[in-house]
Amino acid sequence: MKRIILILNIIIAALIIVSCTNKTQEKNNKLIIFHAGSLSVPLKQMKDEFVKTNPDVEILLESAGSVKCARKITDLNKECDIMASADYTIIDEMLIPNHSSWNIKFASNEMAIVYHDESKYSDEINAENWHEILLKEDVFYGRADPNSDPCGYRAVLTSQLSEQYYNLNGFADNIINKDQEYIRPKEVDLLALLESNTIDYLFLYRSVAQQHGLKYIILPDSVNLKNPGLREFYKEAKVDIVGKEPGTTIMKIGQPMVYGITILDKAPNKELALKFVDFILSKENGLRIMEENGQPSMVPSYSETYNSIPEQLKQFANTK
């Protein structure tokens, strides 16, 4: 009897060891990434490419507005290895220094007015009259929530810049106060509203329109937030969003669009995270996929946090 009990105890101990080993192995092979909605398509493609040569790796992609992604880390203490933001300043302002130590700028984009064949006045709209058409009473447009998503506050900034560029007194207030029922947490949530003909137009990144085969108006550089040479003009536009702490705000000032990426200081799987970020930022892998999806590379770019960047990733940034 004692022998049977001993054997059972050995078996139970062995099962516990195997179970713990499997759980450790599972954790070592899992990567959690919070990312901007506008990165959904390229990151899915990168994930598929990466696992071809790393078949045991499980990559969990969690899409949300970049501000919301940061708040999952700062407010909800959710586990995360990598955060990729549509606005690099979100990482600077919300994650550094308490949750992350560095930030690499890696891609750009631009604002566009997106629509499809069923949109009202789709046969008339162009870069010179889009602002008139969006203000029509029988036209409905959507935009992302500025407090959740950079695309949302960039829509506001684009509206303010358009008021100046087209010399339209009061345009920014008029367009922002219109159709507020069609504001959504992130820009890709708006695609369903467009596809169902609930709205006719939306403020959206050009890359997302391209990836989904949608029509879009290419806006002048003076309003599309793409051109680094117009940095000073972009600064004329400003909007406040909800800050880190309750009751506080962060002022977002117009500037050229720049995406940022970081690994969290408390990343559960830092070694694998480093490997995947290296893949994302390499010209022949992730950056090639970004370019194919309409998001030009900015690697290498100046990083204010260069000295804190892990050695193997410093090649993707510079100090000038």
Question: What is the overall mean pLDDT for the chain?
Answer: 92
Segment (H or E) for 56:
none
Quick one: average pLDDT of 241-262?
91
Write down the H helix ranges in the chain: 2-28, 40-53, 66-74, 88-90, 130-134, 150-165, 171-176, 190-195, 206-211, 221-224, 231-234, 270-281, 286-292
Q: Which of 253, 280, 296 is the last residue of a domain?
A: 253
Residue 4: inside a domain, yes or no? no
For residue range 219-250, what is the model confidence (pLDDT) as tens digits? 999 999 999 999 999 999 999 998 877 788 99
Query: What's the pLDDT band for 27 if we cut at 50, 70, 90?
Result: low
Residue 10: inside a domain, yes or no? no
Q: Count structural domains, the chain.
A: 2
Q: Which two tokens stand for residue 305?
A: 């946090």
Task: Assess whether 243 and 119 both reside in one domain.
Answer: yes
The CATH number for 103's domain is 3.40.190.10
Q: Is the pLDDT of residue 273 over 80?
A: yes
Amino acid at 88: Y
Residue 22: inside a domain, yes or no? no
Task: Assess whether 183 and 245 both reside in one domain.
Answer: yes
Name, in order, each residue with C-beta under 8 angstroms of 280's C-beta and a sequence gap of 6 or more. Answer: 46, 84, 106, 261, 286, 287
Query: What's the pLDDT band for 83 if we cut at 50, 70, 90?
Result: very high
Quick one: average pLDDT of 260-267?
98
Q: Which of 290, 220, 269 is nearest to 44 (CA)?
A: 290
Q: Which of 55, 89, 53 is nearest to 70 (CA)?
A: 89
Task: Assess whether 158 and 249 both reside in one domain.
Answer: yes
Quote the CA–CA distance of 57 and 81 in Å, as a whole number: 14
Task: Assess whether 41 and 133 both reside in one domain.
Answer: no
Q: Is the pLDDT of residue 213 over 80?
A: yes
Residue 117: inside a domain, yes or no? yes
Handedness of CA 123, 218, 290, 274 (dihedral sign): negative
Task: Assess whether 241 and 285 both reside in one domain.
Answer: no
Q: Which of 253, 276, 305 is the last residue of a domain?
A: 253
For residue range 140-198, what is the model confidence (pLDDT) as tens digits? 999 999 999 999 999 999 999 999 999 999 999 999 999 999 999 877 789 999 999 99
- Domain limits at 43? 29-108+258-318
pLDDT score recorded for residue 7: 59
The secondary structure of residue 318, as a DSSP letter, is E
Q: What is the pTM of this model?
A: 0.88
* pLDDT > 90 fraction of the chain, expressed in percent and rounded: 87
Pairing of strands 104-107, 259-263: antiparallel
The secondary structure of residue 220, as a DSSP letter, is P
For residue range 116-129, what is the model confidence (pLDDT) as tens digits? 999 999 999 999 99
Q: Which of 158, 118, 141 is nearest to 193 (CA)?
A: 141
Contact 271, 284 (CB under 8 A): no
Task: Assess whether 182 and 202 both reside in one domain.
Answer: yes
Pairing of strands 317-318, 141-144: unpaired
Cα torsion through 60, 62, 66, 72, rounded to 10? -90
Task: Assess whether 267 and 290 both reside in one domain.
Answer: yes
Residue 89: inside a domain, yes or no? yes
Query: What's the pLDDT band for 9 if we cut at 50, 70, 90?
Result: low
Task: Assess whether 118 and 230 both reside in one domain.
Answer: yes
Q: Is the pLDDT of residue 15 over 60?
A: no
pLDDT score recorded for residue 189: 81
Quick one: average pLDDT of 264-270?
97
Quick one: average pLDDT of 290-314?
97
pLDDT score recorded for residue 24: 42
Q: Which two tokens stand for residue 71?
A: 């708040």
Question: Roughly what angle, to the nearest 10 degrees, separates helices 40-53 and 270-281?
Answer: 110
With DSSP H G I counted as helix, E B as strand and the rest as coil, what are the percentages for the chain, rounded to 5? 45, 20, 35
Task: Assess whether 154 and 229 both reside in one domain.
Answer: yes
Identify which has the larger pLDDT, 201 or 15: 201
Quote the CA–CA distance of 81 and 272 in Å, as a whole number: 9
